[in-house]
Structure 1
Amino acid sequence: MISNDLNTEFWVITDTHLIADSLHDNGKAFKLIQDTSQGKDLNYQEVALTAFCKMANEKKPSAIIVTGDVTFNGELLSALRFQEIFSKLTDTKILLLPGNHDIFDGWARKFKDNQQLYAKQISPDNWQQIFTLSYDCALDKDNNSLAYSVQLNPQYLLLLLDSNTYGYKPASGAPKTAGKIGTKQLSWLKKQLEYAHSHHLRPLLFMHHNLYVHNPAVNQGFVLDNAPAIRQLCQQYNVKVVFSGHIHAQNIIGPQKLTPTTEIVTSSFCSYDQAFGVVKVSPTSVRYDRKKFNMIPFLTKKQRQNYVLTHFHEYLKKIQLRNLSKNSDQKDPLADRKFQPVNKLLIEMNYNYFTGHNHISRSQLNHLYSSTAFQTLLQERPRFSEYLKTLYDTTEHTNLVSEIKY
């Protein structure tokens, strides 16, 4: 048991995508990868995660839980560096589960000058050996996957699942985006839920892939292939909260039909505005609050002399906007200067959606839809029509805070 306190706080981060500094020389090949990394920061994650650990040592949450894609593309050295950084935690446990980019990822690379070179991949055994501090906290482990359970306090049981599809040897191709909870792990999960029920513990689920569809236009490969089976277990055992990642977007979905479960996805830590979730459990509720990490107080004196590090969210937004601009400007009519307002609209809509700040009034939405920029966007990019209309929410729902009552 991690804590004897009935009122316990833990933090959630996801999709940190750390690539160890030792795997690149900041040369031509690495800069190309940074420019095509879909808005991820690859340059400063060692600094950011080290600062995050310093904040944890000051504020002392009971645990930090990482819901997958710990590494950039499954480089063994990146996992070792991640563990080295988080080994500095003093009063906080680090609990991790793998994402689709972590185990036997054929894209694992190191970068030298203008070359991409193969890097050693992470095996399932490597994962458990490197993150032994996490698995040492386990109440129980699944022998057929990297899933394990941890008792948080006298009332809550954490179930950290392995939703990824990987082989038994190093891979040569791209990692599989889709995932599922395998048959044997599903049996293990049911036993854990039975244990929680018989011991009057409230189960909280953690996994990389999603339980629900979070965007009706873009969801293939993100939702578990066997999500209905997991939802059935959630219904049977009254699982009220699931935490996941994978989509890089801040999104919360409440209970659906017969499923009593709220699913909370925190946006990627290496993108946007360095989001993390603060979760407070009590005898009567689980409360989640999305926070933005301000790392300036936890930088060294030398690091504070670096403009990028002291204006890090500005830097992250520029990376994201540059990524979206490149995607929108390549070989199509929107590249023309007269379409810059259209590009700006597309970029801002995406940014607001991925950070969870996408709630506007119906009148604001109608004004947006009738604007010249939006109409031009639909005309020039008809294939985006359905997606664009999913980016704003006019309901009273929020993606930033959730309180689940017991």
Structure 2
Amino acid sequence: METRQIITITVILSALLSPACDSIDLRGVYSAYETVDQRFDQSMEWNQTHASREINVPGENYVLYVMADSHVGKTNHLDTFFHDAENEHAAAAVMVGDLTEGHASDYQTFEAHLPAPGTLTTFPITGNHDLYFDGWKSFRGLFGTSTYTFVVHTPTASDLYICLDSGGGTIGNKQLAWLKSILQQHRNRYRHCVVFSHVNLLRFRPTLSTNPFVQEVKVLLDLFLRHNVNMVVNGHDHNRNTAVFGPTTYIITNALSEESNHAGYLKIYISGAKPDYQFVRF
């Protein structure tokens, strides 16, 4: 009991003193040895050796399924999420972080429940828990990258989706420069633009760790405003919420975890008009 209390106090103090804990090493309990810039470099290296991610859908309208904060644990909700997405012929399923608790065994469990190849396209992003216990190595080994774009093509239009690594509470200088370049050079070529990341920019529930830097939030809000980003979708807080700032709807989706009292996921409906969304509860 005494050892557990000491570890708990250490974790809390470290979180309070480090609002955006991108590199934490607490006696091997919570470990994110790589910085966000190091993870970005490794993601870009993977992206350069793999084909760009593009999806073609037969009609003008389609749906994306989005989940966050499964934390592995029990997998009934995870299986249901993928099953529902496949049954509705979703264009893709996006997983916005805290898929695991960071253990290598967690990643093995998660991999065992992923859809069979060719049945459903999935796009994963790291959360803070995915980085614990040296989890980035397992994430990278399984998924390759956590910073990338993908495009969905309809018969008459194309939509841009941007996936960011905010697992440490910040996207860092390199990733920010990359994001600015993507928006400045490519946004106007696409009908809709949606950004996915784990840590939510607009905090509705105080937490002890992984809080974004205020100056970074200001920069991102301005970027999304100036480049007409339609949606920013996050997890992390476990309870759903929405806010609108300029042209952008900021969405926090419920946790998928079966330990959550508000377990659920998000559906994004894409059409020629402004993207719409629906929260789905278990």
Query: Does TM, scored on the shorter chain, surpass 0.5?
Result: yes
1:253 is paired with a residue whose SS is strand
Q: 1:251 Cα deviation (Å)?
A: 0.6
Cα deviations across residues 88-121 of structure 1 (Å, max 9, x unaligned)?
Answer: 2653211110001112x14xxxxxxxxxxxxxx3
Higher strand share: 2
Please state if 1:261 is matched with 2:251. Answer: no
Residue deviations 1:326-381, cap 9 Å, x none? xxxxxxxxxxxxxxxxxxxxxxxxxxxxxxxxxxxxxxxxxxxxxxxxxxxxxxxx
- Give the % identical residues: 25
State the distance in 1 between where 2:182 and 2:191 align.
Answer: 10
Write the distance in 1 (CA, Å) between the matches of 2:87 and 2:99.
23
Aligned to 1:7: 61
Matched, 1:64 2:93: yes
Partner of 1:187: 177
RMSD of aligned Cα (Å): 2.0
CA distance in 1, matches of 2:171, 2:262: 31
Residue of structure 2 in register with 1:171 after alignment? none
Structure 2 counterpart of 1:328: none
Query: What SS class does the counterpart of residue 129 from structure 1 fall into?
Result: helix
Aligned residue number for residue 124 of structure 2: 96
2-structure distance, mates of 1:261, 1:54: 30
Q: CA deviation at 1:272?
A: 1.9
Q: 1:185 to 1:240 in 2, by over 3 A?
A: same
Task: Report deviation, 1:85.
Answer: 1.0
Q: Which residue identity is paired with 2:142?
A: I
Helix, strand or coil at the partner of 2:212: coil
Query: Aligned partners of 2:231 and 2:122: how far apart in 1?
Result: 20
**What are the residue-to-residue correspondences of 1:109-258 with 2, within 5 Å?**
121-124=134-137, 126-132=138-144, 146-153=146-153, 154-165=157-168, 179-215=169-205, 218=206, 221=209, 223-225=211-213, 226-255=216-245
3-state secondary structure, aligned to 1:10: strand
**Contact (CA 8 Å) 2:230, 2:275: kept in 1 or not?**
no
Select the residue among 244, 264, 270 that pairs with 1:281.
Answer: 270
Question: How far 1:198 sits from its partner (Å)?
Answer: 4.1
TM-score norm. by structure 2 comes to: 0.72
Structure 2, unmatched stretches of 5+, are: 1-53
Q: 2:129 aligns to what SS in structure 1?
A: coil
Asked if 1 retains the 8 angstrom alpha-carbon contact of 2:98 and 2:129, the reply is: yes
Structure-1-length-normalised TM-score: 0.51
Q: 1:17 aligns with which of 71, 75, 78?
A: 71
Task: Assess if the C-alpha contact under 8 Å between 2:62 and 2:270 holds in 1.
Answer: yes
Shift of 1:213: 2.9
Cα pair 1:214 1:253 within 8 Å, conserved: no
Q: RCO higher in 1 or 2 (8 Å CA, sep ≥ 6)? A: 2
Deviations 1:23-60 (A, max 9, x none): xxxxxxxxxxxxxxxxxxx3xx2233223323333222
CA contact (8 A) 1:210 1:222 kept: no
Query: Cα distance, 1:211 vs. partner?
Result: 1.7
Provide structure 1 residue ranges, at least 5 long, that are not aligned to the other structure. Answer: 19-41, 107-120, 136-145, 166-178, 294-406
Change over 3 Å in CA distance of 1:260–1:52 after alignment to 2: closer
Q: Which residue in the other structure is 2:102 paired with?
A: 74
- The residue number in structure 1 matching 2:31 is none
Q: 1:220 & 1:227 partners in 2: Cα distance?
A: 18
In the alignment of these two chains, the number of paired residues is 221
Which position in structure 1 is the counterpart of 2:26? Answer: none
Separation in structure 1 between the aligned mates of residue 77 and residue 187 of structure 2, nearest angstrom: 39
